[in-house]
Homo-oligomer: A and B are copies of this chain.
Amino acid sequence: MSLVAKKAAISIKDIARAANVSHSTVSRALRDSSLVNHETAERIRRIARDSNFRVSAVARGLATGRTSTIGVVVTAIGDPFNAEVVESIEEAANARGYSVALANSGANPDREMKVVQSFEERRVDGIIVMSSRVGALYVTHLTKMAVPVVLINNQHPGEFVYSVMIDNVPASEAATRYLIQLGHRRIAYFGRRGGFQADTERFAGYRKALEAAGLPVLDELVVRGESTPEGGMRAMQQLLDLPDPPTALFCYNDTSAIGAMRAARLRSLWVPGDISIMGFDDLAIASYVDPPLTTVRQPKRHMGRIATEILCNLLNGSKSESSRRLQGELIVRESTAPPKRRARSSAQHYRLIRPRSPAKSRGIV
């Protein structure tokens, strides 16, 4: 009786009764089948509309064996990179008549499998998993799995049949090469801890560029941690504490790069004057931080769209490519510049005119 009580939803039988036809006819009319007389169909639809009827997608799903739903699993919804990709997946899916079920994996392999399992129970038609920690292990499952899986930026070593990936090695190599061309010789790499495939590849690109330039890969300049602002801050502090700190830092992602910039500022260092910082991803925010971040763009929307297309093609059996490597794009902004250590004085200078926090300055007022 109360608002919350589950009232038995009205069904096509109710509509059938009202329209004085069989429920089969109602079903057809609602699906715009050409098998039903035009006027009858119109009448049925009007009645359905007037009575606020909603076909049960679950009953339909049971009858047809398709739910028109795709499951999306991400490591963290709140991560801006993921959020942008998910947005484009939802759009692409919607345009093709699919809804999206979303779940968090927390970058935990076990949890990821659980979530995929729950999607299987819900009989989603297909699954997209971002930053999978399970990756190729799906193939052993695949044979038993009725539902196709497409991976975006697979983080597990080894190939997976259906995937869209950023081509990390050349992207990272280009980024590092750019820093070298700027004149940097001591270039640090801040990677992601935890055995992520993208980290392995980006580090490989970094190493490749250094070696091509005849520069050594120095252990002290390679640090790994959480790919968060805090992680970036800690990494930067550690690097700055070195007897001979780097003049440039290449970060696993924009988020940690922004943290690194903050740490530099807190030490009264000027980016890029005292140290250049390069990110990866090109988040929406990257062009609005100060200085705007030089980074490697991942075509986020494109990745989501392609993954959805591959999945949908799989679903309706049309042949298409099964996997795609997308190229990153170096986006030069203002967080990188030629090294000029002698310019330390300007940093000093900078500090002098830096604002103090209102809390502190309040006393002055």
Contact = CB atoms under 8 A, between A and B. Distances in A.
Interface of A: 2-9, 52, 54-59, 61-62, 65-67, 69, 76-80, 82-84, 86-87, 90-91, 94, 99-104, 117-118, 120-123, 141-142, 144, 146, 148, 182-183, 229, 258-259, 261-262, 265, 270-273, 284-285, 287-291, 294, 314-315, 317, 332-334, 336-338, 346, 349-350, 353, 355-359, 361-362, 364-365
Contact of A365 (B57, B91, B103, B183): B183
Contacts of A336: 358
B90 A123 contact: no
Contacts of A82: 83
A339 B259 CA distance: 28
Contacts of A353: 270, 346, 349-350
Nearest to A56: B123
Contact of A355 (B4, B78, B270): B270
Copies per complex? 2
Contacts of A120: 54
Nearest to A350: B353
Contacts of A365: 182-183, 338
B77 A87 contact: yes
14 contacts: A2-B317, A57-B123, A58-B67, A58-B123, A69-B101, A78-B83, A82-B83, A91-B104, A94-B104, A99-B122, A100-B101, A101-B102, A337-B358, A338-B362
Given A86-B77, A265-B290, A332-B358, A144 B4 contact: no
A86 to B, nearest CB: 5
Nearest to A72: B102
A121 B55 contact: yes
Contacts of A359: 332
B357 A333 contact: yes
Contacts of A102: 86, 90, 100-102
* Best-surrounded residue of A4, A100, A284 (most CB of chain B within 10 A): A4
* Best-surrounded residue of A79, A355, A362 (most CB of chain B within 10 A): A355
Contacts of A9: 123, 146
Listed from nearest, the 4 A-B pairs whose CB atoms lie closest are A83-B83, A78-B87, A77-B87, A102-B102
Contacts of A123: 9, 56-58
A78 B141 CA distance: 32
A101 B99 contact: yes
Nearest to A322: B3
A273 B361 CA distance: 11
A307 B93 CA distance: 27
Given A142-B3, A355-B272, A90 B77 contact: yes
Contacts of A84: 78
Given A56-B121, A78-B80, A349-B353, 6 more contacts: A58-B123, A69-B122, A87-B104, A258-B288, A262-B288, A337-B355
Nearest to A182: B358
